[in-house]
């Protein structure tokens, strides 16, 4: 259900598998938005919940108010997924006919799939479900881009670049550069900017 009176608040969910850099990406994104003057609330969990399991960060981007760190069911405006199965998992709880999705195409098999007890949905099934459950979706292999740049974990920054490319949030390259300059070494800074640009160019 969409909030009646919070049309001004944008709800974004960043999801993936523990170890994919979900938390780093949500921090970078939130940092940019805070600098731009928004009141941002992030909800997430760390610790053992990260070990190989599904991870999710909820970002509430409001012009003026602290929001609940958990987005209401069916209340996502944008979903950014580092793994397609996790995109589906989040969509089925927080999706609605108006939601936009940007998803990495590269899958990570859950243990039940590795052991053969369960099946990973086929690419076709995933694309069909995306089409039925979203208003707009972009899907591309961000991990492959990360690997070309030298590290698969850069897929998180590739996805942020793609998010900027969609124009769904008021973020751009300049803001991203300013944000990561605060924490990264010059070498990593340049590499992250490359990943951002590569992601941005995936959105047409």
Binding pattern for the stretch 57-96 against other proteins, x by CB under 8 A and - elsewhere: ---------xxxxxxxxx----------xx-xx-xxx-xx
In the region spanning residues 117 to 156, those forming contacts with other proteins, defined by CB under 8 A, are: 118-121, 125, 129, 132-133, 143, 147, 151-153
The region that residue 78 occupies, defined by phi over 0 for left and psi between -120 and 50 for alpha, beta otherwise, is: beta
> Residue 204 CB, nearest distance to other proteins (Å)?
26
Q: Which is nearer to other proteins, 133 or 169 (CB)?
A: 133
Q: Which of 24, 36, 44, 189 binds other proteins (CB under 8 A)?
A: 44
> Residue 109 CB, nearest distance to other proteins (Å)?
5
Binding pattern for the stretch 8-37 against other proteins, x by CB under 8 A and - elsewhere: ---------xxx-------x--xx--x---
Selected range binding other proteins among 112-120, 158-166, 187-195, 196-204, rule: CB under 8 A: 112-120
CA 106 – CA 84 distance, rounded (Å): 7
155 within 8 A of 80, measured Cβ to Cβ: no
CA 107 – CA 86 distance, rounded (Å): 9
In 22-168, at which residue ranges do the beta strands (DSSP E only) sit? 39-43, 54-62, 78-81, 100-104, 136-140
Q: Which residue has the tokens 């300059």?
A: 181
For helices 84-94 and 123-133, the axis angle rounded to 10 degrees is: 30
For residue 116, state whether it binds other proteins (rule: CB under 8 A): yes
Number of residues that bind other proteins (CB under 8 A): 71
């Amino acid at each position: 259900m969409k909030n009646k009176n919070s049309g001004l608040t944008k709800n974004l969910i960043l999801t993936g598998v523990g170890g994919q850099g979900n938390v780093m990406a949500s921090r970078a994104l939130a940092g940019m938005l805070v600098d731009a003057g928004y009141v941002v609330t992030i909800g997430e969990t760390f610790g053992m919940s990260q070990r190989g399991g599904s991870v999710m960060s909820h970002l509430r981007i409001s012009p003026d108010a602290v929001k609940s760190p958990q987005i209401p069911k069916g209340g996502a405006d944008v979903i950014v997924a580092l793994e397609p199965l996790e995109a589906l998992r989040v969509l089925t709880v927080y999706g609605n006919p108006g939601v936009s999705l940007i998803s990495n195409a590269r899958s990570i098999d859950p243990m039940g799939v590795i052991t053969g007890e369960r099946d990973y949905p086929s690419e076709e099934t995933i694309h069909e479900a995306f089409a039925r459950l979203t208003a707009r979706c972009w899907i591309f292999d961000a991990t492959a881009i990360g690997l070309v740049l030298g590290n698969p974990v850069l897929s998180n920054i590739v996805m942020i670049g793609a998010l900027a490319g969609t124009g769904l949030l008021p973020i751009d390259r300049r803001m991203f550069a300013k944000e990561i300059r605060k924490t990264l070494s010059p070498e990593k800074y340049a590499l992250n900017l490359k990943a951002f640009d590569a992601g941005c160019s995936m959105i047409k």
